[in-house]
Amino acid sequence: MPDIYAIGLVVLLALVFDFINGFHDTANAIATCIATRSLSPRVAILMSAVLNFVGAMVSTGVAKTIGGEIVTSPQMVDSTVLIAALTAAILWNLFTWKIGMPSSSSHALIGGVLGAVIISYGMGAIHTEGVLMIVAGLIGSPIIAICSGYIVMTLLFMLFRNIGKSRVNYVSLHVQNISAAVMAFSHGSNDAQKCMGIITLALLSGGYIGELEVPLFVKISCALAMAAGTSVGGWRIIRTVGNKIFRLEPVNGLAADINSAFIIFTATFLHLPVSTTHVVTGSIMGVGWAKRFRAVHWHTAYSMVGAWVMTIPSTAAVAALVYLLIRHNYW
């Protein structure tokens, strides 16, 4: 396959992944405000689509981390590696979406890249320090979200302890309109950059750009793809996140949104890719725990954790297989 066609296929697959990420991961970002009926599903999805686009345009630090910290040299990540990685991530996202299980698009993509790079160049091609930093952020963020969600909810309980529950929920319901908007913006600021990094890496390895800087057309394309995917909505995952972990009331949804947005913004500032899925579900667990430990449906949480643990090894294995099939049949 001529190089220009291979690069074009990478760009296409990256945008498809970003589109799927839109309805797959954005479902997590807006699940709380839909579950508490702060916003109608239609309004929440439209708002999220717009703010995902805006958020995706504000920074490229995470994109540079994805493009420059996984492998020792960007030139090692050729179009075949990226095609295999993206194919594995897309298949995993579609599978978990089909069964309604929240999983991390970030884990899926990074697992795919790792699997394809290792099968093509060996372990020596992996930038160990960079990968450990990325994995630490991906694993640490939900743990931090649980703990900080517990703290935020406890503080809100203390703040509102002398106010009637109905009044608290009434005020929280309206404030959550703002917190949900901030959450959607933060999701775009982190998640869309992962595909920006992949496309930029493809352009760099193909010699079409001279440095690891995200071109404007890549920013706009990825932002539009995510916004379009968001507009479709991911109803299966919204039901799981919004209702099956913990029965959210408006004040709980507000606490979860505030906590999730803060963690994602912090990660974006530090140029670390994190999983919106993990952060939001971790926040909901922490918020529920603050009310009562048994209020959290831990069996649902455990099954989700199982899916999270399986994501990187599964996508790495699929990406390695796809890479070998491509090399055997087309290159």
Q: Is the pLDDT of residue 73 over 80?
A: no
Output the pLDDT for position 102: 67
Output the pLDDT for position 64: 67
Q: What is the arithmetic mean of pLDDT over 292-319?
A: 81
Helix residue ranges per DSSP H, the chain: 3-35, 41-56, 61-68, 79-98, 105-121, 128-159, 165-205, 216-232, 235-239, 250-269, 276-291, 298-329
Q: Which of 166, 296, 150 is nearest to 158 (CA)?
A: 150
* DSSP, residue by residue, 172-223: HHHHHHHHHHHHHHHHHHHHHHHHHHHHHHHHHHTTSSSSS---HHHHHHHH
Q: Which of 329, 331, 327 is nearest to 120 (CA)?
A: 327
**Domain-embedded: residue 61:** yes
Output the pLDDT for position 151: 94
Q: Which of 275, 264, 268, 272 is nearest to 312 (CA)?
A: 275
Report the range of poorest mean pLDDT among 146-155, 181-190, 257-266.
Answer: 181-190
Q: Which domain holds residue 44?
A: 3-324
If DSSP codes are grouped into helix, strand and coil, which group holds residue 30? helix
Give the separation between CA 59 and CA 56, rounded to whole angstroms.
Answer: 7
Query: What percent of the chain clears pLDDT 90, i.e. is strictly above it?
Result: 13
Report the range of poorest mean pLDDT among 9-18, 143-152, 239-248.
Answer: 239-248
Measured in degrees and rounded to the nearest 5, phi and psi for residue 205 equal -65, -25
What does the pLDDT look like over 7-66, one tens digit per residue?
889 889 999 988 887 776 666 667 777 777 777 777 877 787 788 778 777 766 666 676
Total domain count for the chain?
Answer: 1
Give the containing element (helix H, strand E) for 103.
none
**Domain-embedded: residue 56:** yes
What does the pLDDT look like over 202-221, one tens digit per residue?
888 777 887 777 788 888 88
User: Which stretch, 47-51, 100-104, 177-181, 314-318, has highest mean pLDDT?
Assistant: 314-318
Report the range of poorest mean pLDDT among 109-113, 122-126, 237-241.
Answer: 237-241
Report the range of poorest mean pLDDT among 235-249, 258-272, 310-324.
Answer: 235-249
* DSSP, residue by residue, 284-316: HHHHHHHH-GGGS-HHHHHHHHHHHHHHHHHHH
**Domain-embedded: residue 194:** yes
Average pLDDT, the chain: 80
Output the pLDDT for position 150: 94
Query: What percent of the chain clears pLDDT 70, i.e. is strictly above it?
Result: 87
Q: What is the arithmetic mean of pLDDT over 240-269?
A: 80
**Domain-embedded: residue 319:** yes
**Domain-embedded: residue 138:** yes
Give the separation between CA 153 and CA 165, rounded to whole angstroms.
Answer: 14
Output the pLDDT for position 39: 75
**Domain-embedded: residue 331:** no
**Domain-embedded: residue 229:** yes
**Domain-embedded: residue 72:** yes
